[in-house]
Amino acid sequence: MITQLVASGLALGSIYALLALSLVLIHKATDVVNFAQGEMAMFGTFICFALLTRAGLPLPAVLLLAAPLGVALGVVTERATMRPLQSAPPVNALIATIGLWMIFHHAAGWIWGYDPVRFPSLFSPEPVEIMGARIAQNSLGIIAVSLLVVVLLYLFFEFTRMGVAMRAASMNRRAAQLMGVDVTRTSLVAWGLASAIGVVSGLLIAPLTFLDFEMMFSVLLKAFAGAILGGFNSLPGAVIGCLVIGVLENLIAAYVSTAFKDTFAFGIIILVLMFRPQGLFTRRIAKKV
């Protein structure tokens, strides 16, 4: 029982982790927290669904298209909304992402309706036996896909020119700029990547919860919680934080109460912000005056 709970918790957590990765990616590159990240993921998933049902594309083709589609969504959004605010106070960019949230959220309801629809399963629901515990293939599949994304992201940051430049820019933007890193481009790339990863998370969660214009909100809240646990500036920290959140959520639902299954994430956010705002894994760095 507990093994299954932990396994499905890890699967849930890895979906949160993907969204948290998107949040942290953009935050590291541009100092903006994209409140619309979840809604963009939902919107992208709806587009995939439309390709599947209305355009009649086969599922594998849609899955292949998902990432490029996500990139396009992110790039267009960044150009239209963030670019003009590059030199404005940071709170303006934050407000703009809240505007994006409203746009994507309600546009999805407006275009595709407000009723939840069933999204085809990507993995077989049959459980497999691992070390004496029966674990759903679904959970294993989700964990595998998330792991793949994390590995690809790692390779990008370690071995590509762009990735290294982005790492430099996230550490010291001004210095990176002086060394010829194009900050405008890193922002664009971050938004593209983040949006693509977000769409993957949307595709993973849609079969579990039905595809619905409100489906990403609780995911976003938990991705926030996980990212904050991890310090909001560390990609591995965000992943670990989200896995913790996923497992905790399952255990609380099973042993405590399902009523506050979603609000507990908020409790964690508040506790971390009050007592350890730098997150669990990063050291606090004094502000240079």
Partner 1 sequence: MKHARTIATLLVLLVLVALPFGLGHYGYYILATVMIYAIVALSLNVLIGMGGQISIGHAGFWALGAYGSALVVIKLGFPFLAGVLVGGLVAAIFGALVALPALRVQGHYLAIATLGFALFVQQVLFEWEGLTGGRQGLFVPRPSLFGYELQTDFSYYYVLLAVFLLLAWITGNFAGSHTGRSLMALKMSSVAAECCGIARPIHIIIAFTISAFFTGVSGALYGHLLGHLSTETFSLAVSLSFLTMAVIGGLHSRAGALLGGAYLALAPELLREFKDAQMVIYGITLILCVQFLPGGLISLVERVWTIRRPPRAAP
Partner 2 sequence: MPLLEIANLSLAFSGLRALANVSFDVEEGEIVGLIGPNGAGKSTLLNCISRLYQPDGGTIRFDGHDLGGRSAPEVAAMGIRRTFQNLELFREASVRENVALGLVYRYGSPLLAEFLALPGVRAKQRAALEDAERIVSECGLGEWAEARVAELPYGLQKLVELARALAGHPKLLLLDEPAAGMNREESTQVAETVRRLRDRDGITVLLIEHDMRVVMTVCERIVVLDHGEKIAEGSPAEIRRSPAVIKAYLGDELEDA
State the minimum distance, in angstroms, from the CB of residue 82 to partner 1. 10
Interaction partner, residue 179 (partner 1, partner 2, none; CB < 5-8 Å by kind): none
In this structure, are residues 227 and 272 in contact, taking their beta carbons and an 8 Å threshold? no
Residue nearer to partner 2 on the CB measure, 1 or 178: 178
State the minimum distance, in angstroms, from the CB of residue 63 to partner 2. 43
**Residues within the interface to partner 1 (CB under 8 A):** 27, 32-33, 35, 81, 84-85, 88, 90-92, 94-96, 98-103, 105-107, 109-110, 217, 221, 224, 228, 232, 259-260, 262-263, 265-266, 269-270, 273-274, 277, 289
State the minimum distance, in angstroms, from the CB of residue 34 to partner 1. 9
State the minimum distance, in angstroms, from the CB of residue 283 to partner 2. 7
Q: Which tokens hold the place of 67? A: 């990432």
Interaction partner, residue 92 (partner 1, partner 2, none; CB < 5-8 Å by kind): partner 1
Interaction partner, residue 72 (partner 1, partner 2, none; CB < 5-8 Å by kind): none
State the minimum distance, in angstroms, from the CB of residue 219 to partner 1. 14
In this structure, are residues 242 and 20 in contact, taking their beta carbons and an 8 Å threshold? yes
State the minimum distance, in angstroms, from the CB of residue 99 to partner 2. 25
Nearest to 69 by CA among 51, 50, 44, 89: 44
CB neighbours of residue 264 within 10 Å: 18
Single-letter code of the amino acid located at 117: V
Residue nearer to partner 2 on the CB measure, 209 or 282: 282
Residue nearer to partner 1 on the CB measure, 55 or 258: 258
The C-alpha atoms of residue 204 and residue 216 are separated, in whole angstroms, by: 11
Residue nearer to partner 2 on the CB measure, 161 or 287: 287
Give the dihedral of Cα atoms 113, 117, 120, 123; nearest 10 deg.
120
**Residues within the interface to partner 2 (CB under 8 A):** 283, 285-286, 289
Residue nearer to partner 2 on the CB measure, 4 or 282: 282
Interaction partner, residue 260 (partner 2, partner 1, none; CB < 5-8 Å by kind): partner 1
State the minimum distance, in angstroms, from the CB of residue 262 to partner 1. 8
Interaction partner, residue 283 (partner 2, partner 1, none; CB < 5-8 Å by kind): partner 2
Instruction: Indicate the angle between helix axes 37-53 and 59-77, nearest 10 degrees.
Output: 140
